[in-house]
Structure 1
């Protein structure tokens, strides 16, 4: 792939302030990543869009706003461009709507307004990429493995055995259980049903995820039939949680465990690293820290060995 003409990024940090689901390190995660993108990877600051729920934020990280930012980024893309999305916040799992898979669950991220963005939404975005552009996603959220629907697993439960880790205490899992999502949406709509799609469509309408708006037979058309340029570095496996470290011990800053591990990997390795190397090194850091989560990589075979964010040698510090 040629050196990118443009480098575009959308960074989303959700701390859910003053709620029972409050986290502490997610905004710090994306602020740190913005510095790295600009100072190391050559991103123009004007091409890095930041959405957080910090007090006074102009653009809140709602489901509609996040999807609009990602859609705009993909629409601008041309061959050779490098696109990047970093999400730090809660994730969840929802019952699959697919027939024949009654126990299967699908992955979603939880924006500030609980308007879920699902694996199908990310699949549709990747499918819209022009040939020769790449779209790298870091999702530091629970159940983030598989967040691009139908993307090939390169590092994960079926390809590498997870090593047990010791437990730690100064963290909160970045997950909101499905039942809690359902209870919250029920309080918004006052509709007595266990069907989450009904609640999301009632409250968010056309801004709800494609997974709830389009019949399954049409969703199947989004399936990837060939290697594509979607690259997902997930904070954990689909059945695991990701840690939000509260920073209390030692009086340090709060941070997401996976986001921090990626920052450490990049700081300690100044040259270009492959996507596979970034994930494997982050796994080792988390294991050494005693954090029980296992980052994964989902992408085509070629992109597993491709350089993370297509860093060129002359862009190293």
Structure 2
């Protein structure tokens, strides 16, 4: 009997409800994407893990019970990659805030990260490690509808140049970005430590569940000593220095959505 290749997906929507960073369309994005994966691309619903930070009815009529914390997102992604075999298709869709982390040794350098609901940042180094673990012949597509998402797989060759198209819109929208300074301020209130080193705050707050970038700084260079041709594909809502938009037409009776998520559905 011929082997049947698996199609696996992890979908994450963060609306950050009841905070100053609240978005409105991110959960809608991943619920709609789940429906699309099942109906158009033949994914088995049991092979799709949905994580949201609010009660959201999925296409199957159930509710998300797993919060999109940094630990939970990384656990779901690691589980998916560990199940992969040659020929399998893996898909990760993230809709939420992104941020940029300044590199102390580089005046103009930054690392890109997504912002889970608990602010336990998942960085480009974490995504690079996941892609490096992919078995030969499997593909891993990462779609990030967030600000600064263009560099989320560190050292990956950029395939798409900067956009030159700018469309005017009368809809209400919000950039899907939390500035680094705001994240640092939030984490400082949690730890009570007076330092501008974000790694110190993340390690104090999340311990071994913090990003690999801060757990073992030397790992970043070690990861790239063994770079190989991979099947990692990054679809980003914008370049690393640009922003993505959370569209909110609810005042006119519409449903909120992420611009990039909506464009690919």
State the TM-score, normalized to the length of structure 1: 0.78
RMSD between superposed Cα atoms in Å: 1.7
**Counterpart Cα distance in 1 of 2:78 and 2:211:** 13
Match of 1:96 among 95, 98, 103: 103
Match of 2:217 among 212, 215, 219: 215
1:262-273 equivalent positions in 2, closer than 5 A: 262-263=264-265
Return closer, same or farther for 1:232/1:4 CA change in 2, 3 Å cut-off.
farther
- C-alpha displacement of 1:226: 3.0
C-alpha contact (below 8 Å) 2:171/2:248 kept by paired residues? no
Return closer, same or farther for 1:198/1:170 CA change in 2, 3 Å cut-off.
same
C-alpha contact (below 8 Å) 1:108/1:144 kept by paired residues? yes
Deviates more, 1:254-263 or 1:49-58: 49-58
**Counterpart Cα distance in 2 of 1:211 and 1:253:** 37
SS at match of 1:10: strand
Q: Corresponding residue for 1:243?
A: 245
What's the CA shift string for 1:19-42, capped at 9, x where partnerless? 110000000000000011001111
Deviates more, 1:123-132 or 1:245-254: 245-254
Match of 1:131 among 129, 132, 136: 136
- C-alpha displacement of 1:219: 1.1
- C-alpha displacement of 1:169: 4.8
- C-alpha displacement of 1:148: 0.4
What's the CA shift string for 1:271-309, capped at 9, x where partnerless? xxxxxxxxxxxxxxxxxxxxxxxxxxxxxxxxxxxxxxx
SS at match of 1:200: helix
**Counterpart Cα distance in 2 of 1:3 and 1:54:** 38
Q: Corresponding residue for 1:201?
A: 203
Deviates more, 1:51-60 or 1:73-82: 51-60
Q: Corresponding residue for 2:58?
A: none
What's the CA shift string for 1:148-169, capped at 9, x where partnerless? 0011111123xxx523443545
**Counterpart Cα distance in 2 of 1:57 and 1:5:** 26
Q: Corresponding residue for 1:182?
A: 184
Query: Residue 253 in 1 paired to residue 255 in 2?
Result: yes
- C-alpha displacement of 1:225: 2.9
What's the CA shift string for 1:177-198, capped at 9, x where partnerless? 0000000000000000000000
- C-alpha displacement of 1:96: 2.0
Return closer, same or farther for 1:203/1:79 CA change in 2, 3 Å cut-off.
same
Q: Corresponding residue for 1:6?
A: 6
**Counterpart Cα distance in 2 of 1:7 and 1:219:** 29
C-alpha contact (below 8 Å) 1:140/1:235 kept by paired residues? yes
Unaligned runs of 5+ in 2: 56-62
**Counterpart Cα distance in 2 of 1:167 and 1:118:** 31
**Counterpart Cα distance in 1 of 2:69 and 2:208:** 14
Q: Corresponding residue for 1:16?
A: 16
Query: Residue 75 in 1 paired to residue 85 in 2?
Result: no
Q: Corresponding residue for 2:36?
A: 36
State the TM-score, normalized to the length of structure 2: 0.92
Return closer, same or farther for 1:3/1:14 CA change in 2, 3 Å cut-off.
farther
Q: Corresponding residue for 1:296?
A: none
Return closer, same or farther for 1:200/1:144 CA change in 2, 3 Å cut-off.
same
C-alpha contact (below 8 Å) 1:3/1:80 kept by paired residues? no
C-alpha contact (below 8 Å) 2:24/2:246 kept by paired residues? yes
